[in-house]
Amino acid sequence: MAFSVPGLPYDFGALEPHIDALTMEIHHDKHHGAYVANANAALAGTEWSETPVEEILTSLSALPADKQAPVRNNAGGHYNHSLFWESMGPGKGGEPTGALADAIGASFGSFADFQAQLKAAGVGRFGSGWAWLVHNGSGLAIVSTPNQDNPISDGHTPLLGVDVWEHAYYLKYQNRRPDYLDAWWNTVDWDVVAARFAAAS
Ligand code: MN
């Protein structure tokens, strides 16, 4: 099965006012759509054309040399955006509870400290990329990746990621990436993140 863009589990305008409807429409349909089309084109006719995306992103060095860069960028883009849409929802935000809240407190000091560190990772990513909360095998960590790289290529499990490419925020926030990151917290679905944490622990 070639990759396809998953439908958004909410309307384009559902994350207003934090993320505007036009940004969501272009981001999902055009940007994610292009990653899927380009990944499928790169993998067509290879022995990897039916391989799950997670396996591809943890096997990049095994791909044909001329496929590695386009697959890294575009299959990575497909995987990252699929995680991103699922991590948000209307009327979400707030704080995690239970085991995830305990682990965040133990790892980062407090939820506010965690938020500050993830924001710093996003603000500090020069150019385009992502900031992530990951499970690194022993516990929680915050990392940042350039372009469409994903922590699974480094052996980590992504629990929550935020897109800091300009296409994710420029229509509403222009150059104010920190303001976008502050608003984005209001969209985070902590139940989804907690489920990923439970599966990774
Ligand atoms: Mn994006």
Mean pLDDT (the chain) is 97
Cα(128) to ligand 1 centroid in Å equals 9
CATH number listed for the domain at residues 98-200: 3.55.40.20
71: pLDDT strictly greater than 70? yes
Residue 154 CB neighbours (<10 A): 12
Q: Where are the domains of the chain?
A: 20-86, 98-200
Which one-letter amino acid corresponds to residue 133?
Answer: L
Confidence of residue 105 (pLDDT cuts 50, 70, 90): very high
**CA dist., res. 161 & res. 121, Å (int):** 11
Cα(98) to ligand 1 centroid in Å equals 30
Which pLDDT score is estimated for 1? Answer: 67
Cα(147) to ligand 1 centroid in Å equals 9
Residues, beta carbon < 5 Å, ion ligand 1: 163, 165
Cα(167) to ligand 1 centroid in Å equals 6
CATH number listed for the domain at residues 20-86: 1.10.287.990
Q: Determine the average pLDDT of the residues in 126-133.
A: 98
| Beta-sheet pairing, 140-146 with 129-135 | antiparallel
Q: Which two tokens stand for residue 184?
A: 């984005």
Q: Mind listing the pLDDT tens digit for each residue in 27-68?
A: 999 999 999 999 999 999 999 999 999 999 999 999 999 999
